Structure 1
């Protein structure tokens, strides 16, 4: 057997091992990117659900026929609700997962939700009061803007991943 055959076999083995390594690295990176995208999608959805449920609970508490100090306490209790699913808890999850531009928008929406809570805790606020309507409009507009930023972020992850492969 000549040296040419051994060299060709060795070169083939090196090429085969190198190709396997490159393929495995690309697959590993793709799987990591997919997990990151799925994690963000889950956290984004949890936060949107939490703020929506919190809003619904505080509106129900405020306009449920309770007045005075009891109303304030009912709104407060509804706002804090389930600790595991609260807006605050899910905001903290989002803060460690999302990019800065999404976190900033989420914090703005979280503050708007707190403003809604504060307005609803007042004794004289009705569902058709101008103060509540304005505050709720700001909250809903902020929530919609946040949802668009989240969607854009998830779509950009997909585009970035496709370009790299």
Structure 2
């Protein structure tokens, strides 16, 4: 009869070890998923901030707030100077394909916006506003896709 007590103790220990292993594995998976979401959120935010900075510079140039001799050249280099392309490369390392497609479209809309402002069309605010609205619409679409991945 002594072996029954020993067997039940061993079985209890095995069940306890298995339960601990399963719970630890689940906790590790949740923490790992949270770290990935946090990393993704940080890169998303960095990319969106860079594009927002570029957009702000462009609207200030278009509205004449930054109207000096170098305004046109700043408009032409705004994407580089705001590090939009660098941030897009970072994004490409962690983002899903749907996010990258929308991000690439956003950069295209930002380039269109830059082109309109760089042409010196500040007097034609309708063209500038259309380019800015196209950029804003694309940014909103990107944000929606990004939210779905977080």
Query: 83, 88, 94: which one pairs with 2:85?
Result: 88
Q: Distance in 2 between matches of 1:77 and 1:104?
A: 23
Contact residue 75 and residue 114 of structure 2 kept, 8 A:
yes
Residue 129 (structure 1) aligned with residue 131 (structure 2): no
Name the SS for the 1:118 alignment partner. Answer: helix
Contact 1:109 1:139 in 2 (8 A): yes
Structure 1 length-normalised TM: 0.81
Distance of aligned partners of 1:7 and 1:61 in 2 relative to their CA distance in 1, 3 Å threshold: same
Unaligned runs of 5+ in 2: none
Name the Cα RMSD after superposition: 1.8
The equivalent residue for 1:78 is 78
Residues 7-65 of structure 1: per-residue CA shift (max 9 Å, x gap): 11111111111111101100000000111111111111111111001111233345322
TM-score by length of 2: 0.89
Q: Pick the aligned partner of 1:66 from 47, 68, 78.
A: 68
Deviations 1:81-103 (A, max 9, x none): 25xxx111111111111111111
SS at match of 2:130: helix
2:33 is matched with: 33
The residue aligned with 1:100 is 97
Answer yes or no: is the 8 Å Cα contact 2:79–2:85 preserved in 1: no
Q: Deviations over 1:64-84 (max 9, x none)?
A: 2236xx4432212433225xx
Q: List, as ranges, runs of 4+ consecutive aligned residues in structure 1 with deviation greater than 6 Å.
A: none
2:144 to 145, 148, 152: 148
Contact 1:54 1:79 (8 Å CA) reproduced: yes
Measured in 1, the distance between the counterparts of 2:94 and 2:117 equals 31
Which residue of structure 2 lines up, in the alignment, with residue 117 of structure 1?
114
- Please list every run of 5 or more consecutive structure 1 residues that lacks an aligned counterpart in the other structure: 155-165
Give the CA deviation at 1:129. 2.9
SS of equivalent to 2:67: coil
> Is the contact between residue 75 and residue 117 of structure 2 (CA under 8 Å) also seen in structure 1?
yes
